[in-house]
A = this chain, B = another copy of it.
Amino acid sequence: MPEAAGAAAAAALSPGRESFGSRLGRAMADRGPLCVGIDPHPALLDSWGLNDDAAGLERFSLTVLEAVGSLAAAVKPQVALYERHGSAGMAALERTLAAAAEAGVLSIADAKRGDIGSTMAAYADAWLRDGSSLAADSVTLSPYLGFESLRPALDLAAEYGRGVFVLALTSNPEGASVQHVGGSDSVARRIVQAAAGENARYAGPLGSVGLVVGATVGTALADLHLDLEAVRGPILAPGLGAQGATPADLRRTFGPAYPQVLGTSSRDILKAGPGIRELTDAAARTLDGLRAE
In the complex, residue of chain B having the shortest beta-carbon distance to the beta carbon of A2: B177
Chain A, interface size: which category? Answer: 35 or more
| Complex contact B174–A178 (CB within 8 A) | no
Measured in the bound complex, the distance between the Cα atoms of B78 and A48 in whole Å is 36
User: How many copies of the polypeptide does the oligomer hold?
Assistant: 2
Contact A145/B167 with A90-B90, A181-B182 known, Cβ cut-off 8 Å: yes
| Complex contact A174–B149 (CB within 8 A) | yes
Interface SS majority for chain A: helix
Please indicate the chain B residues that have their CB under 8 angstroms from the CB of A146 in the complex. Answer: 172-179
Measured in the bound complex, the distance between the Cα atoms of B133 and A144 in whole Å is 28
| Complex contact B113–A143 (CB within 8 A) | no
Measured in the bound complex, the distance between the Cα atoms of B146 and A126 in whole Å is 26
Please indicate the chain B residues that have their CB under 8 angstroms from the CB of A175 in the complex. Answer: 116, 144-146, 149
| Complex contact A114–B142 (CB within 8 A) | yes
**Can you list the 5 inter-chain pairs with the closest CB atoms, starting with the nearest?**
A146-B174, A86-B133, A148-B174, A87-B91, A80-B122
A-B contacts, 7 of them at CB < 8 A, read A78-B119, A80-B115, A84-B132, A86-B133, A90-B90, A112-B115, A116-B170
